Structure 1
């Protein structure tokens, strides 16, 4: 048996100096905000570190501590090397893991790491796209089993990559509401493999980092689309951390892209612009004009919500110029959704945010006409956008017709985001009256309630 007796972290205690544990915790929280992190550091956490109870911080704390003490490593700060805590130790348990220290369950910032270690050592780690749980012909048949073993190889990495594709496929067809909770299982499995640090070769390790990060973004998107914004923010931050630690610029650009989208949807327009600009910097060397186009549109959306019409128009212009350069070999796989229809949709959202409803409706109408029917969720989304833009532009009958088309799809698409957009349009249409509006509203009232609170930015 390996001794579990804690060894005090004297190096970390020296770094605290004359400050109290509470004062030092406040400094940690300030440093976290400086780099866009959020950690719930308090005097108790500082005490746990100094006592040696926390042998290695999670990734969020690691970034904060290294920011506070530039040039230092975790070992310099008195921590154990991550691989000694998560990798080798995971392979010394022949049957079952040792019991977890109960105090770990009380610190929210350590909880995710605990869950991953439990998942890794609790028997067979099953990455099961079938467990995403929609059933029917569109569901994946058969689990992808990832047994615990000393080395992570092709089979395990391929399972993670396949889970990413299956989640995206099911989201395209059905929306996020029925998927989010179930998708957490393969995400935990992926990070359990990553934390074990036992990939058989460097190329495998790189693919595993990329796959785990993409899976975090996919699950984050499910949280985002189903109105669980805090969960989405956490998943996107985890993906960004994975990208930074692995030096993966493509994953970093993707994480910033989604973070910008989320910031715009939650009313943090300046953050949306900054994240989009950071994404463009990360994407610059990758050689994908389409990726730069999407990030420019994310920037345009943030600027629109700031009321910066000139900046928005410039960003849209850059996006269209980049988009017209066409597809390329360097375009990421996840960008399969970004076609002309999506470009029109994102531009429609910009004009909507700026209050130019007729112009927004023109672009939303183009988006619905161009959209591939295979992307059922996006077709419902585009029509919901069109419904709202037409309602605010004063064309209530046409808006009601578009709204009826959204309702036609809601038996197949479960998206709180789309339901929120439709509810916003209904609030505009309700005072208008007329037989078309009445028919739409009557059918709308028959919908079951949205299962989770959803906050959709007001369109005006």
Structure 2
């Protein structure tokens, strides 16, 4: 077979305009909901279309795109004719023949019509049209809708399955909640890089359950919404930590939309918390402040001082990025006062990581952003001393932060020694974010690369396996998601 090089779809790229790929993907998902379609569009899918890798969309995407751009044809959108891609007419999945003596089956809310099946243009691994079809089968049928595995770790230690069936009950909700916990556990132990692509599978399954399933009780429905939203945040974090900022932004926006639809203030506060963190890392400090403030408003009635403390620290990080030392200091003061009120029954489960060590680290990052390296290093030392040894990824993260602060504070030998500790941990942790931090520290130390500890560290760092380092802007520049700090991320705003 002769392969042909992909031709970039410039027409489709022009339609995206100034929006990031993640923002445009959110526009596509919203348009799909308007016409009753379900597509798992994300920034990567948009990139594949624009690169020409996807020459013709599947039928579901075709309906969505033509709805978005009335009067346009697929050719106008830069796509190839379906016949030219496939070389033959589309196949149709037919309804089963009627049973003698019974009326023919017709579409209904409980039994949707079977759609055209285009196996050569449907992007099955990415868009998961398959799961939607699972719900058309018997209500007692259960399938392994998704599994999660970790590259480099035993498969038996990293399997999560989500059952999918027409009626959603305790088993399905428990599976979604289990997937959230499993992803967090694996991230704590191994970091994000080997997890992100696999974790997207249970996320798609969870939203298929949300969209296509029916629940017997309101409490079950609420748990399913919360579980799907938390799963979106967890997968978003894996994207964030592995440098895929546009993907992370899209997942966090999905979680926020789910929270707003369900009226879930806890999920909303969590989505804003992570959005603020991402905005800070992506070089958008003003958005980081606004998102953190919105999160604090959502969290006020939840009875969790620790959650308010974390959100205040997110605000402090944004203010540090703006160079607002006074505002940063005040936010840190509010965070410490709230933290000192202790744990409470209203503390969400996902905040188990937020202990004194994390508070010290986040304060260290604030002072580091403000250029007070010595003060940052003092808090960084406390963070590393307090951190639980079970959180391998955080041990590496805290020490990477400390390495950079020590290097910039002129304590080169101590920085090199700490950097060696990070390299020891990176044999077990896959995190582009941590590797990027360590690479920054190494660049600061290069002028001191004589003999001794610094030279030894730089040599070892240079020889270590490379990782995927997030760019300061996270790839495609993205406009702020929140124009006033209060609104939901509305795609395209």
* TM-score, normalised relative to structure 2: 0.72
CA deviations over 1:262-284 (Å, ceiling 9, x no partner): 00000011000000000000000
Judge conservation of contact 1:209–1:243 (CA < 8 Å) in 2: yes
CA distance in 1, matches of 2:136, 2:238: 27
Residue in 1 aligned with 2:335? Answer: 319
Distance in 1, Cα, partners of 2:411 & 2:398: 17
Structure 2: segments with no counterpart, 5+ residues:
1-14, 42-66, 68-106, 475-493
Q: 1:395 aligns with which of 405, 411, 425?
A: 411
Structure 1 residue corresponding to 2:111, chosen from 92, 96, 106 = 92
Is the Cα contact below 8 Å between 1:421 and 1:456 reproduced in 2?
no
In structure 1, the residue matched to 2:312 is 296
Residue 137 of structure 1 and its aligned partner are, at CA, apart by 8.7
Partner of 2:292: 276
After the TM superposition, list the runs of 4 or more consecutive aligned residues in structure 1 that deviate by more than 6 angstroms.
Answer: 39-42, 57-61
Q: 1:192 to 1:431 in 2, by over 3 A?
A: same
**Partner Cα distance (2:148, 2:167) in 1:** 25
Which residues in structure 2 correspond to 1:200-349 (within 5 Å)?
200-349=216-365
In structure 2, the partner of 1:64 is none
Q: Helix, strand or coil: the match of 1:373? A: coil
- Secondary structure of the equivalent of 1:285? coil
Work out whether residues 131 and 145 of structure 2, in 8 Å CA contact, stay in contact via their aligned partners in 1: no
Distance 1:438 1:121 in 2: 63
1:136 to 147, 151, 154: 154
Seen in structure 2, the aligned counterparts of structure 1 residues 334 and 90 have a Cα distance that, compared at 3 Å, is farther
2:35 maps to 1:55: yes
Counterpart Cα distance in 1 of 2:283 and 2:346:
32
Aligned with residue 132 of structure 2, among 86, 95, 117 = 117
Q: Residue 439 in 1 paired to residue 456 in 2?
A: yes
Q: For residues 263-322 of structure 1, what are the alpha-carbon distances to aligned partners after superposition, in whole Å with 9 as ceiling and x for unaligned?
A: 000001100000000000000000100000000000000000000000000000000000
Report what 1:184 is aligned to. Answer: 200
Q: CA deviation at 1:454?
A: 1.3
Change (3 A) 1:39 1:191: closer
* In structure 2, C-alpha distance between the alignment counterparts of 1:160 and 1:303, rounded to whole Å: 36
1:377-404 Cα offsets, whole Å, 9 max, x none, are: 0000000000000000000000000000
Aligned to 1:117, what secondary structure does the other structure show? helix
The 1:435–1:411 alpha-carbon spacing in structure 2 relative to 1, beyond 3 Å, is: same
Query: Structure 1: 5+ residue runs without aligned partners?
Result: 1-25, 62-77, 79-87
Contact 2:366 2:376 in 1 (8 A): yes
- Does the Cα contact within 8 Å between 1:213 and 1:243 map onto a contact in 2? yes
Answer 1 or 2: higher relative contact order, Cα 8 Å, separation at least 6.
2
- SS at structure 1 position matched to 2:343: coil
2:373 and 2:405 in contact (8 A); partners too: yes
The separation in 2 between residues aligned to 1:160 and 1:240, in whole angstroms, is 18
Matches within 5 A, 1:150-189: 150-189=166-205
**Higher helix residue share:** 1
Q: 3-state DSSP class of the match of 2:144?
A: strand
Q: Distance in 1 between matches of 2:128 and 2:300?
A: 33
CA–CA separation in structure 2 for the residues paired with 1:164 and 1:385: 27
RMSD: 3.6
Partners in 2 of 1:443 and 1:211 — Cα distance?
42
Distance in structure 2 (CA, Å) of the matches to 1:388 and 1:307:
19
Q: Deviations over 1:412-460 (max 9, x none)?
A: 000000000000000000111241100001111111222x3412589xx
The DSSP-based 3-state class of the residue aligned with 1:286 is: coil
Aligned equivalent of 2:446: 430
- Aligned pairs for 1:344-359 within 5 A: 344-359=360-375
Match of 2:103 in 1: none
Q: Distance in 1 between matches of 2:148 and 2:27?
A: 38
Q: CA 1:379–1:436 in structure 2 vs 1: closer, same or farther (change >3 Å)?
A: same
**For residues 40 and 161 of structure 1, do their structure 2 counterparts lie closer, same or farther at Cα, with a shift above 3 Å needed?**
closer
Over residues 349-372 of structure 1, what are the superposed CA-to-partner deviations in whole Å (9 max), with x where a residue is unaligned? 000000000000000110000000
Q: Distance in 1 between matches of 2:176 and 2:27?
A: 32
